[in-house]
Chain A
Amino acid sequence: MDYTLLLIQVLNGLQLGVLLFLVASGLTLVFGILDFVNLAHGSIYMLGAFICASLTYVLESYLLAIVLSLPIIGIIGYVFELFLARPLYARDHLDHVLGTFGAILVIDTAAHLIWGPAGIAIPLPDYLDGQISIAENIEIPTFRLLIIVVGLTAAFGLLWLVNFTRLGMLIRAGASNRTMVAALGINIRSLFAIVFALGATLAGLAGMLIAPITEASLGMGNNIIITAFVVIIVGGIGSVKGAFVAALLIGLIDTLGRAFLDDLFKIFMSTTAAENSAPAISSMSIYLIMALILSFKPKGLFPPRLR
């Protein structure tokens, strides 16, 4: 019985991990290649959730809503880059933080005005709303399995794009040495815009995938963005592979911590003490891991070479 629970929790951790990866990959690309700190990345994630929720009610189909929301979010990302990020590239990081923090406030308040404070629940079609049996005694909600599949597909698609295509080659080259890429005659501006829109689309997709579970709600982006920063720092800023490994690691540690830490603590302390300390320790577990990894590898697990 214990092993099946462990397996289910590993799957839950995987699901959280792939969602984190979708958000973190865009963040790490933008931070690594454009050297741009985008705090408002989480707001795009929230917009993805809200737009998809609204479209679900209009189109009466969740899957159709996703297909339509993805290009919308891509365009929002592109426009965001054009009007907000581009004028800030030449400034230092503090200006990026100020500018994008302002964008968070504007986007959050706009969402409050448009959709209200209550948040929107997305109804799932019946075939996604049930449970699926993946082995004897192991049942997980169908939709969570779908998140894992979609997330992993997007992750491997992105890894393929970055590692085996010409665009990916340019992205990696940009992450290593921006000036050299520009000197070789590559239009760095349009490359930046594409990367930005790609990152926004992935974050939006994450928002669309989580919304049927937690609802589209205000401030949901600010919640995940901190964890996403932990992921890209642990993974090495600018590395998609690093973001992937770190996202799964953080997802698993967070979920397994929440699931098993109190039982673990009960072995060597009283039940009350374990029940009180476990939630506190598990909510800081990812930061403890970050501190540990950074003390051995200050540039993260897979830092891109030659920055």
Chain B
Amino acid sequence: MNKVVAVLIFWTFFIPSAFAADIKVGFVTTLTTPAAVIGNDMKNAVNLALKHLGGKAGAHNIEVVFGDDGFAPDTGKQVTDRLLKQDKVDIIAGYIWSHVLLASRKSVLDAGKILISSNAGPSQMAGKLCHENFFSASWQNNQTPMAMGEVFNREGIKSLYIMAPNYAAGKDMVAGIERTFNGQVIGKDLTKWGADAQLDFSAELAKAKVSGADGLFVFYPGAASGAFTKQYHQAGLKDLLPLYSVFTIDGISLPKLQAANFSGIVGSKVTQQWDPSLNNQANKKFVTDFKEQFGKYPSFYAAQSYDTINMIASAIMAVDGNMSDMAGLRSALKSANYNSLRGKYSYGNNNFPIQNFYLREVVEDSDGNWTTEVVDTVFKNHQDPFAAECKLK
């Protein structure tokens, strides 16, 4: 026992000083529960980003410490605290889930560190809870469904039935679609979410079927998307009630949907700020190398995680590794001066991106794999609707 303590003391006091030049990045994602499919995709992208950077930002080594939120806000907060206090990271990034990010934000911001979301974009943190040290490398939750609502208006869809999980992001998605969609929302269901999420949607699909809506709009990210799509097909809704979705049919679910041969998915349309087909140098390199290394298309989660690491690296270089120069870090992050996979974008007053949103269509590529490609630009330089509520200038 004493030996163990001695080794631990040695670790804490002597070893870190040997790597004093290293900059530690904490990266919180989901590595257990079925949602780990997303977490693993993000982890792969982070490691690919580090590989492309040679593990360095300028002269400084970057070390990424991963934390597992277990798909639960309380675990997410605990792991965030551990990264801050025990691993003493300089920056915290990651976060798939809005409720996990909302639970963890205070720990990071109170510690005076930079917090970067690689995915979650809860409305609260874009508006009243915005903070000078919080940046989004992705989008604000409402934006992607807002783009979808705009698509509905263009396509002349008059009425919708909506289904989403009952948590922070699910509510933002519903609010987003209602903000831009000019037609009528005939019915909506918010279903239980989390590690014990509801995955049998029999009651909700039966209601949607008799609702007489023109379309069904859903948001079921990660593992739930496979279960949902399957039941949608089994319920025979394909010809009755066309399916529209955000964050549901993506690089994570497409291989599985293809394996189960749900051919109805090909041709379906989703909105997003990024796509593997986007034509810029950084994106081409990322998609090619990712496919080569992991044998599948990267998901948007992967793309945003790759962006996160490059964004952090650009900020580290700007302050030359002086992580206590908060003002320098902030202005470097805010300039978005790195080769983002989505192309050039800028930051609004609330540190959320002002960026394009594309309409993507599910297609079969030349190798016979299902993927998406951009068919239209829905919004150009779009800013989230909560920026006005944020007190930052």
Contacts and interface: CB of A to CB of B under 8 A. Distances in A.
User: Could you say which of A143, A275, A279 has the most chain B C-beta atoms within 10 Å of its C-beta?
Assistant: A279
Nearest to A108: B32
A95 interface: no
B200 A214 contact: yes
A143 B236 CA distance: 12
A193 B188 CA distance: 48
Interface residues of A, number: 44
Contacts of A214: 199-200, 227
Contacts of B191: 258, 279
Given A118-B223, A255-B203, A222 B236 contact: no
A215 B202 CA distance: 14
Contact of B236 (A8, A130, A212, A217): A130
Interface string A16-29: 10000000000000
B52 interface: no
Contacts, number: 114
A119 B34 contact: yes
Given A213-B231, A219-B195, A283-B192, A117 B34 contact: yes
B326 interface: no
A218 B203 contact: no
A280 B234 CA distance: 27
Contact of A213 (B32, B35, B195, B234): B234
Contacts of A143: 234
A contact patch SS: helix
Contact of A219 (B34, B227, B261): B34
A141 B190 CA distance: 22
Interface string A252-269: 000110110010000000
B217 to A, nearest CB: 15
B244 to A, nearest CB: 20
A121 B256 contact: yes
24 contacts: A9-B206, A12-B203, A117-B33, A117-B37, A119-B34, A121-B230, A121-B260, A123-B259, A130-B236, A141-B231, A143-B234, A144-B202, A213-B199, A213-B200, A215-B230, A217-B34, A218-B32, A218-B33, A218-B36, A223-B195, A258-B191, A275-B190, A279-B166, A279-B189
Given A9-B203, A124-B234, A144-B234, 7 more contacts: A121-B230, A121-B256, A210-B200, A218-B36, A255-B203, A258-B189, A259-B206
Interface of A: 1, 4-5, 8-9, 12-13, 15-16, 112, 117-119, 121, 123-124, 129-131, 139, 141, 143-144, 210, 212-215, 217-220, 222-223, 226, 255-256, 258-259, 262, 275, 279-280, 283
